[in-house]
Amino acid sequence: MSTLRAGLVGLGAMGRNHARVLAGLDGVELVGVMDPAGDPHGAARGAPVVATLPEFLALGLDYAVVACPTALHEEVGLALAAHGVCALIEKPLAHSPRAARGLVDAFEQAGLVAGVGHIERFNPALRNLRRRLEAGELGELFQVVTRRQGPFPHRIADVGVVKDLATHDIDLTAWVTGQAYTSVSARTLTKSGRPHEDMVMVTGDLADGTLVSHLVNWLSPLKERFTAVTGERGCFVADTLTADLTFHANGAVATEWEAIAAFRGVSEGDMIRFATPKREPLLVEHETFRDAVAGKDAKDGTGIVTLAEGLRTVEVADAVLEAARGRGVVRLPGARRAATETATGVRPLA
């Protein structure tokens, strides 16, 4: 594989992590970085740092990683597509569904590889969970519950907790279950004095009837990254901070008490903590995107997060904010189509 020329837009907290991985990525040369603020932390690892988009586009790039503020994703992404540069755009794909749709159309029309940086898809615990759900180990799914909370990250200024954090949970839920969201309701709080929400509680439905619940905030001193999927055979719990996956099986306990024997409930059964190889999710994400640009198939069958999938996540996040503004339950665009596809055996996001 010939060496790919890669560039990076943005040297904020996440951008610096991207620079670290790109600088050591096999088959890739980090040839330049764009950030109007320069490189005060020395994160570019010797690569030239430019201040403007025209200078960046003149570097002769094969692909670029876009890690600038969300509000700038549309402008930068459209410029890359117009100049024939493939792009890995940090989540969320864009600040609005309209902008996200424009990016989808631009890269599709240009015939370029483009993806969204939903890094949780590359977490070992969630990859293991998805494989086990696909194999039917849990049987019929009943519910997905996620909790993502912790202190306020001062690096975030242009969006609230829904678009910055909840998009992780929206994407991973649709991905591990293979089901699209059909409706959401939500409540938010704004307590930090910023113009955007700091906490959100979401309930929703997936196309197969699975119930969904998300608690996401920047108001807790407790840092938590919790995903639980409950089904007819038990419950999987993934901790994406430690990349651990645990299975809690339904117990089979015989009873001779006639009064409760007819109750169809569950009891505690065996608990299994799975040993899983743990590689850095960001490195795996970059390897997957590099291979996609080079025209190579994904090693484990799990490829990049497409812009179409990123658009769907932005649409769900937008519906969450709409619901929180007091409009009750909001149905998602294409919800009827998604439900029909599920009924006919097609898993929309698999």
Average pLDDT over residues 279-297: 95
Q: How far apart are CA 239 and CA 70, in angstroms?
A: 27
User: How many C-beta atoms lie closer than 10 Å to residue 219's C-beta?
Assistant: 14
Rg (CA), the chain: 21
pLDDT classification of 302: cutoffs 50, 70, 90: confident
Model pLDDT for residues 217-254, shown as the tens digit of each residue = 999 999 999 999 999 999 999 999 999 999 999 876 65
Residue located via tokens 């099986």: 249
pLDDT over 90 at 121, yes or no: yes
Average pLDDT over residues 97-102: 98
Q: How far apart are CA 161 and CA 76, in angstroms?
A: 23
What amino acid is encoded at 191 in this protein? K
Q: How far apart are CA 315 and CA 348, in angstroms?
A: 15
pTM of this structure: 0.90
Q: List the structure tokens of 57.
A: 């586009």
Q: How far apart are CA 95 and CA 280, in angstroms?
A: 27
pLDDT over 80 at 271, yes or no: yes
What amino acid is encoded at 276 in this protein? T
- What pLDDT was estimated at residue 347? 38
Model pLDDT for residues 124-152, shown as the tens digit of each residue = 999 999 999 999 999 999 999 999 999 88
Backbone phi and psi for residue 331, each to the nearest 5 degrees, phi listed first: -90, 145
Q: Alpha helices, DSSP H only, in the chain?
A: 13-23, 53-57, 73-82, 97-110, 124-134, 161, 167-177, 258-261, 281-293, 307-322, 335-343
Axis-axis angle for helices 167-177, 307-322 (nearest 10):
120
- What pLDDT was estimated at residue 345? 37
Model pLDDT for residues 11-40, shown as the tens digit of each residue = 999 999 999 999 999 999 999 999 999 999
Query: What integer best gives the mean pLDDT of the chain?
Result: 90
